[in-house]
Amino acid sequence: KKKDKPRIILKNLIKDCTMSKKIVIVLFSRIGIIAMSLVLALLMLQGVWDVFDSINIIDQQHAMEEIIADLAAILVAFGVALEERETLLKFVGLYPDGLTPQQGRMDHHCHGHGLSLLLLGLFSEVAVYLIRMPDINTLDFDMVLIALGAVLNLAGGGMLIRLSWLLWRDSDQIEAH
């Protein structure tokens, strides 16, 4: 019966919410975050694969820079959203009534992983910006910076998979890390 209480609270909140609040609640639910994280992790893997597949083709440098910068922007945006999950759920009215120990652990995991994604994305963007700065001659290091950006994006994909795993296996008996 204890496990049913949060579900009843969630169902009542969803029933009484506007459509935009319902969308936030669904997207930032455990399954919503897992699904988005896995899709984004696959996107990171595909993008990094494309970059490393073209790394020796100098004509493709601009395209590789764009891929890295765009993936990095996604990491930053999703990282900020994850980091502020608790605030968003307070805003839509799910908290404090819907705050369970499991939701608290989710907030903890999302905050830490969100901050990590934010930083990885920012440093990946810095690698691309170093190449594009007009007053700095990085020609000899362009491919190294591209590879660095790609590795940082790949690390972001790994963080997304780790977050998905932590949220998937979570139950009332698992302590927060």
Of residues 35 and 13, more confidence is placed in 35
Statement: residue 66 has pLDDT above 90: yes
CA distance 150 to 44: 9
In this prediction, residue 1 carries a pLDDT of 47
Summarised one tens digit per residue, pLDDT across range 1-34 is 445 555 555 556 556 567 777 788 888 999 999 9
CA distance 99 to 150: 37
Summarised one tens digit per residue, pLDDT across range 117-152 is 999 999 999 999 999 888 888 778 889 999 999 999
In this prediction, residue 75 carries a pLDDT of 98
Predicted TM-score (pTM) of the model is 0.84
Of residues 15 and 169, more confidence is placed in 169
Token pair recorded at residue 9: 């609270």
Residue 56, burial from CB neighbour count under 10 angstroms (0-12, 13-18, 19+) = exposed
Q: What is the mean pLDDT of the chain?
A: 87
Cα–Cα nearest to 169, from 109, 82, 96, 116: 109
- Kindly state the percentage of the chain with pLDDT values over 90: 60
